[in-house]
Structures are given as C-alpha cells and as structure tokens.
Amino acid sequence: MLRRELLRLFLYQIRVEVNLVNLPFSVRDAQGRLVKGLTKDDFEVYEDGARQTISHFSQAADTPLALGLVADASGSQEEFLKEHRQHLRDFLQVTLQARDQAFLLCFGNNLRLVSPFTNQSEQIEERLRAYQKSKTGRDFPRVGPPEKRDLGTAFYDAIFHATEDLLAKAETGRRALLVFSDGEDNSSAHHLLETIEAAQRTGTTIFCLRYTELQKGVWSARNKYGRGVMERIARETGGLEFDAAEERNLKAAFAQIGEILRSSYDLAYASTAGSGDDTFRKIQIRTRQPGLTVRHKTGYFARKD
C-alpha cells in the first residue's frame, strides 16, 4: 500500500511539473507608472475562466535576466546596420547588469550566433562590428537546422530558434528578446503563429524595435505587413513595439524596456486543465487593487507531448 501511494505521489509530481505555466507580467497604475512592491496576495490568475492556484511568485528585481538580442542584417536593413550597433550599445548600457546574460543572433538568409551568452556588453558590440565587416557571416556558428533559402530574410526562423534553441536552455526564470528589424519575412520555415507560440511556451517577453525603409515616405503593403507582425508579436507575448523613426530619443524607449524588465513580476501555476490537448488556453491576471492594469502574454497552446 505504501509503495502504491508513493508511486501515485511521484506520478502526480511529474504531471504537475509538466503542466506548470510560467507567466511574467508587469503592472501599471492609472497614470501609466509601473507598480512595484506587490505580493502574491494582490493577484488572481484565470485560465479559460477557471481560477488557478499560484504556486510560485517573485519580483523580477530578485531574478537574473536571460536576454536575447536578434538583429536583422538582410538587404532591407543595410542602411540601418550602423544604427543597430549604436542602439544595441545604448540598450545594453541601460539594461544589462553583472548577473544578467545576453546573446546576439543576426539573420539574413541564415541565422548566425554572433555572440554567445555573456554579461560583457563590450564583447557583444565588438562581435557585432566583426560580423558586419565579414559580409557573409560564415565564420560565425549557424543556429537552427540548415535550410535551403532562395530569398534573404528569415525573420520568423530567427525569433523561433532564438527562443527554442537558446533562451529555452537558460537557467534563469526570466527570458526576454529584443528584436531589431522591419518585421518582413520571405524565407522562413516557421510562420507567425509558431513564433508566438514558442515565446508563449517558454515565457519569453518580446520587445520589437522597428526600422522600416520607406519609398519617398510612403508605406507599401509589405511595410504595413511588417509593422502589423511586430505589433502582434509584442502584444501576444506581453512586450512592446517601438518605431525607431518615431522615437526621438531611443534611450528613453530603452530605459522603458529596462524598467519593465526590472519592475515586472513572475508567477507560475499548475494548470487545472491537465495535460496538453492542442488547444489555446487564454490567461487573465486580475488585481485586487483598483485602478491597476496588468500586461502579460495572452495565453499559450497546450500541445500534446
């Protein structure tokens, strides 16, 4: 009898671990200011309308950050490459702390790991400069499986593999991506929904910085498509999207992203819905304090193993 009971408890623990949902989120007051110092008792979590029991709660300031930097080096971004390097440096100076780790992935026709995880912002900038001078990037490790691509922008694949192959293996519980691109894609094996799903599954918050090349200041259909893509990816993962051309002071935008990463919260719960059934499960966080707004991923796909 004792052996049977121990086996039942062991299987239950495995099931709970498999169904654990990690949920980073941020909170703002009525004036739009980020709110710190809240506790587990200030929140309720619902999945498809069913209340969940919070099993883990922490403030981001207490947890190291695993940060992925994804920079578009395709033809449409050539005029912005110098800006990418400068803005990347500014962002790292504002955000990266000694206990954090960041990597840099650049993409065009192929995905290249330009800098592996490090807490040295100077190393990342130096490696990016070397990558941009190399033209082909062949001296840098390939990320993801080799793909035959006739065209030159694997936007979705870059985010998907940055999440699945790199961030998912990070030991820290907080994960975020900062993407420098125009959001346009013409050669990926993965699509928009797969990209969003990978981020939602791993608890990765995505921030998008958009650089759009306009012809005589006019938005083309392709430009509008890229803008919509980046807006949706950020929204569905609980992040934000910025237009580099509209941001007069990008350091302010970087400071805002950094503040969100430092002022956010992390919680986890074991879903009462059980194991994966290939459906999308909608998540809602409610606060017990009036006047507060919570920003988080919209949900996740509960895939069968």
Could you give all domains of the chain from N- to C-terminal order, each with its CATH number? 22-62+266-302 (no CATH), 65-262 (3.40.50.410)
**85 sits in which H/E element:** helix 81-95
Sequence-distant (6+) residues with CB within 8 A of 93 are: 121
The three-class DSSP label of residue 24 is strand
d(Cα 105, Cα 193) in Å, to the nearest integer?
21
Of 79, 67, 107, 100, the residue nearest 207 (C-alpha):
67
| Contacts within 8 Å (CB) and 24+ apart, 240-244 | 240/207, 240/208, 241/207, 241/208, 241/209, 241/210, 242/207, 242/208, 242/209, 242/210, 243/210, 243/212, 244/80, 244/83, 244/87, 244/209, 244/210, 244/211
- What is the C-alpha to C-alpha distance for residues 27 and 34, in angstroms, rounded to an integer? 6
Distance CA 63, CA 266 (A): 9
Q: Quick count: other Cβ atoms within 10 Å of Cβ 287?
A: 15
According to DSSP, the β-strands at 174-181 and 265-270 are: unpaired
Task: Say how far apart CA 165 and CA 221 lie, in whole Å.
Answer: 32
Q: What is the pLDDT of residue 89?
A: 82
Dihedral sign of CA atoms 67, 141, 109, 217 in order: positive
Q: Is residue 145 scored above 80 in pLDDT? A: yes
Task: Give the residue from 48, 51, 52, 54 showing the smallest Cα distance to 282.
Answer: 48
Separation in Å, CA 226 to CA 29, 186, 219, 292: 31, 11, 11, 31
Q: Output the pTM of the full model.
A: 0.85
Selected residue with higher pLDDT from 98 and 118: 118
pLDDT in tens, 63-77: 889 999 999 988 777
> Is the pLDDT assigned to residue 167 strictly greater than 70?
yes
Query: 299: closest CA among 56, 44, 28, 49?
Result: 49
Average pLDDT, the chain: 86
Cα(170)–Cα(80) distance, integer angstroms: 30
- Partnered with residue 284 across adjacent β-strands are 46
pLDDT by residue (tens digit) across 177-231? 999 999 999 999 999 999 999 999 888 999 999 988 887 778 889 899 999 999 9
Do residues 244 and 87 make contact, with C-beta atoms less than 8 angstroms apart? yes
CA distance 22 to 178: 20
Judged by average pLDDT, the poorest of 40-49, 167-176, 242-251 is 242-251
Tell me the average pLDDT across 140-147: 93
Which range (2-11, 70-79, 226-235) has the least confidence? 2-11
Q: Do the Cβ atoms of 57 and 39 come closer than 8 Å?
A: yes
Residue 292 vs residues 32, 52, 56, 234, 305: alpha-carbon distances, Å? 9, 20, 21, 20, 37
What local confidence, expressed as pLDDT, does residue 251 receive?
74
Minimal CA–CA distance to 95: which of 212, 237, 209, 199? 209
